[in-house]
Amino acid sequence: MLTRRQTLALGAGGLAALGAPGFALGRDEDRGPSLHALAQAKGMRFGSAVGVSPPGTISGAFHDPQYRQLLIDECGVLVHENELKWYVARPDAETFDFERADMIMDFAEENGMEMRGHTLLWHHTDWFPDWINNHDFGSRPGTEAERMLTEHVRTMVERYKGRIYSWDVVNETIDEAGRFRQTPLSRHLGEEVIDLAFHIAREADPAAELLYNDYMNWEAGYERQQEGVLRLLERLKARGAPIDGLGVQGHIGSGNYDYSTGFDTAREDTWRQFLDDVVGLDLSLSVTEFDVHDKNLPADIEIRDRKVAELGRRYLDLMFSYPQTKDLLVWGMADQYSWYQEHWVREDGVAKRPTPYDENFQPKPLRQAIADALIAAEPRP
Ligand code: XIL
């Protein structure tokens, strides 16, 4: 069996020569190659989010040694679940707190994994810390808003320069009706608050990939949001903002905003049209937060796992059919640590099953579906 380091050293060509499926690379003999090894063989990356909330909490998976081992076994990329967000890293207007973020960064580096950065500006007041929502912007509010955002983005990106290869510069600024969300910052700077974040990020680390990240999905009900995101991307490009791609969160399955939508309403044609328009703007695609919400599926585990895997496979095949898609990150690797356990709980109260591994760290059909989609993907140019 090869060590993780040897696997990495082999690279895409080496893996292909070994005929990836079924060959043990860096993990359990009978489980075959890791998801990241399968991705690498196609010039892609596979990874996951992980959080450092207090031990025992859903977003505190980092404290679980079995979970950390699973990340080492399967992933080539990690992303902070919450630790770079303003509400964790910015206790107040003057202070930056990187303690939790650095735990993940150090762990990734010690284990030869890369890191994505999520996120410099979650443009959604629900997720702003109260101190910004209540901040006194003074007599020149535009100047103060610009100063605050510039300091924040510059400090974050410079700190992790050369260590975080890709940033979700701005997250979620278009609502489901397709409208631009207002925040205390945009009230003073207008929509160009988004451009500013991109410009400062590019200046702070010219080599980092810069994405706009959002949750417009392929289910019915997201059409206006898709339209709004597309128009925003067009305006950003027209104004010369240094944006490299769109982060497609990929929280598919039962719609989070309208439970009547979901598994049966995935619309491949309108979704493809949207993605065609995005890549037509010369933007890359990344799947940044993939999971499959099983809120409305029958409780029966076999049925649920099968449906989750089938939908996941269909979605990934479509996403990977775009050569512009190089990264696949899941929003958690094991069910007990999925954010869905505490958001939009099921009416029958049973635990959800949205991730590739179950609560005993056993691979589920979704893990196989991801592996199969990676194996079926064309090598990236
Ligand atoms: C979620 C985290 O998983 C939760 O722990 C937290 O309570 C809320 O945020 N889209 C995003 C992510 O961009 O940042 C969100 O993460 C999930 C939806």
- 310 lies in a domain? yes
CB 354 within 8 A of CB 294: yes
Query: Which residue of 52, 78, 126, 289 sits with most ligand 1 atoms within 8 Å of its CB, as the best mutation to test the pocket?
Result: 289
Q: How far is the CA of 15 from the centre of ligand 1 (A)?
A: 34
Q: How far is the CA of 340 from the centre of ligand 1 (A)?
A: 9
Phi-psi region of 282 (alpha: psi -120 to 50; beta: other; left: phi over 0): left
Q: How far is the CA of 18 from the centre of ligand 1 (A)?
A: 38
pLDDT bucket at 264, cuts 50 / 70 / 90? confident
- 339 lies in a domain? yes
Per residue in 191-215, pLDDT tens?
A: 999 999 999 999 999 999 999 999 9
Separation of first and last alpha carbons in the chain: 29
Smallest CA separation from ligand 1 atom 9, residue: 82
Q: State phi, psi for 236 to the nearest 5 degrees.
A: -60, -45
3-27 average pLDDT score: 39
CB 276 within 8 A of CB 285: no
Per residue in 91-118, pLDDT tens?
A: 999 999 999 999 999 999 999 999 999 9
CB 81 within 8 A of CB 100: no
- 190 lies in a domain? yes
- 381 lies in a domain? no
Does ligand 1 come within 6 angstroms of the Cβ of 249? yes
- 77 lies in a domain? yes
Q: Is the pLDDT of residue 8 over 60?
A: no
What is the position in ligand 1's atom list of the atom closest to the CA of 342? 7
Longest dimension (CA), the chain: 66
Q: How far is the CA of 116 from the centre of ligand 1 (A)?
A: 15
What is the position in ligand 1's atom list of the atom closest to the CA of 215? 10
Q: Is the pLDDT of residue 172 over 70?
A: yes
Instruction: In whole angstroms, give the CA distance from residue 169 to residue 80.
Output: 14
- 362 lies in a domain? yes
Query: Which residue of 52, 339, 352 sits with most ligand 1 atoms within 8 Å of its CB, as the best mutation to test the pocket?
Result: 339
Residue with token string 């040694």: 65
pLDDT bucket at 265, cuts 50 / 70 / 90? confident
Instruction: Measure the CA angle with vertex 183, ends 48 and 129; round to 5°.
Output: 60
What is the position in ligand 1's atom list of the atom closest to the CA of 172? 13
pLDDT at 184: 94
Q: How far is the CA of 45 from the centre of ligand 1 (A)?
A: 21
The residue among 265, 262, 271 whose CA lies nearest residue 317 is 271
What is the position in ligand 1's atom list of the atom closest to the CA of 288? 13
Instruction: In whole angstroms, give the CA distance from residue 316 to residue 190.
Output: 36
Q: What domain range is 277 assigned to?
A: 4-376
- 255 lies in a domain? yes
Smallest CA separation from ligand 1 atom 3, residue: 339
Smallest CA separation from ligand 1 atom 15, residue: 81
Per residue in 301-332, pLDDT tens?
A: 999 999 999 999 999 999 999 999 999 999 99
| CATH code, domain with 117 | 3.20.20.80
pLDDT at 6: 37
What is the position in ligand 1's atom list of the atom closest to the CA of 59? 5
Instruction: In whole angstroms, give the CA distance from residue 255 to residue 263.
Output: 8
Instruction: In whole angstroms, give the CA distance from residue 195 to residue 200.
Output: 9
Query: Which residue of 331, 335, 341, 343 sits with most ligand 1 atoms within 8 Å of its CB, as the best mutation to test the pocket?
Result: 331
Q: How far is the CA of 229 from the centre of ligand 1 (A)?
A: 19
**Catalytic positions, please?**
172, 289
The total of structural domains in the chain comes to: 1
pLDDT bucket at 28, cuts 50 / 70 / 90? low
Does ligand 1 come within 6 angstroms of the Cβ of 59? yes
246 exposed, middle or buried (CB, 10 Å; 0-12, 13-18, 19+)? buried
